[in-house]
Amino acid sequence: MWRQINLLGRDRVLSEKIRPRLREKRGFLLTGQHGIGKTALLEWSAEQAVGKVAFVSATWTVKEIMMAICLGWKLEIKNNDGVVVSKSKYQVAWMEQEILQQSGCWLFVDDIHLVQPSVIRRLKILRDRCHIVAAGVPPFKKEELRRLLWGLADIRIKPLPKAELTRIATLVAPLVASRTPVPEAVNAARGNPGQLMHAMRGEVTPDTAKVKGEEIDISPVLMLVLVCVMCTRYIAIGLESTSLYMLGGLGMGLGLVFRFFLFKGMKT
């Protein structure tokens, strides 16, 4: 049910961008903020793809991904003696050997931004042997990941317009017996159809809450403050004011200390 909800309002993306690429057997990349519905679109795409299909998460281990590919593509895994083995006896080397013999299959990868280097190396090998469709949250900082995704059409999943959410909420409200006013539910949804359904049920996210992936960038404000402090010091030199010059120096020192702890917190 959650997937059908997250697909609401995505008709144009499905019909104009995703479905043609699936029909032409071309890989693509779904990008957008957290919780916008990328996984729902990826699962829908996997169901519509024709041929051998495997759906994995980039957060899984190499063995888990390989096993999901083997099961999705319905491969028979053989040991070193050429004997077909059961699922419980699968080994990574045997699975890789069989997977690399395939071509023209589909591989759908969710949470690609969380992929580990060991998984990236294997996906790069598969890139030329199968059609890869991935979903993730940019920016993709890992150089190897950018190389893996290079050439894939980027389909940006954007928040739905307020008018579209209002139309959906108006139609859905009687069906779910919602007591939440439509404008309030639309404001709480923040462009996300799945969040809209939660809001219609009364699970409204406060406006003051910060959604993951939408953090405020205060670096421009910090830079402006530091520039003002520097200007204060130059003005102090012109006025020959020792106290103002010392005050500017103190402000500069505090700004640099604040900048250090700010960036250190962003890395953790």
Share of the chain above pLDDT 90, in %: 51
Distance CA 217, CA 105 (A): 41
Confidence of residue 234 (pLDDT cuts 50, 70, 90): confident
Q: Over the chain, what is the mean pLDDT? A: 84
For residue 10, give Cα distances in angstroms to 21, 156, 159, 169, 195. 16, 12, 10, 15, 14
Q: So what's the pLDDT on residue 217?
A: 53
pLDDT at 254 over 50: yes
* pLDDT for the residue 170: 87
Instruction: Report pTM.
Output: 0.71
Q: What is the pLDDT of residue 190?
A: 81
Task: Provide mean pLDDT across the span 120-131.
Answer: 92
- pLDDT-derived band of residue 42, with 50, 70 and 90 as boundaries? very high
Q: Which has the closest alpha carbon to 128: 237, 10, 31, 27?
A: 27
The arithmetic mean of pLDDT across residues 75-84, rounded, is 94
Q: What's the pLDDT score for residue 266?
A: 47
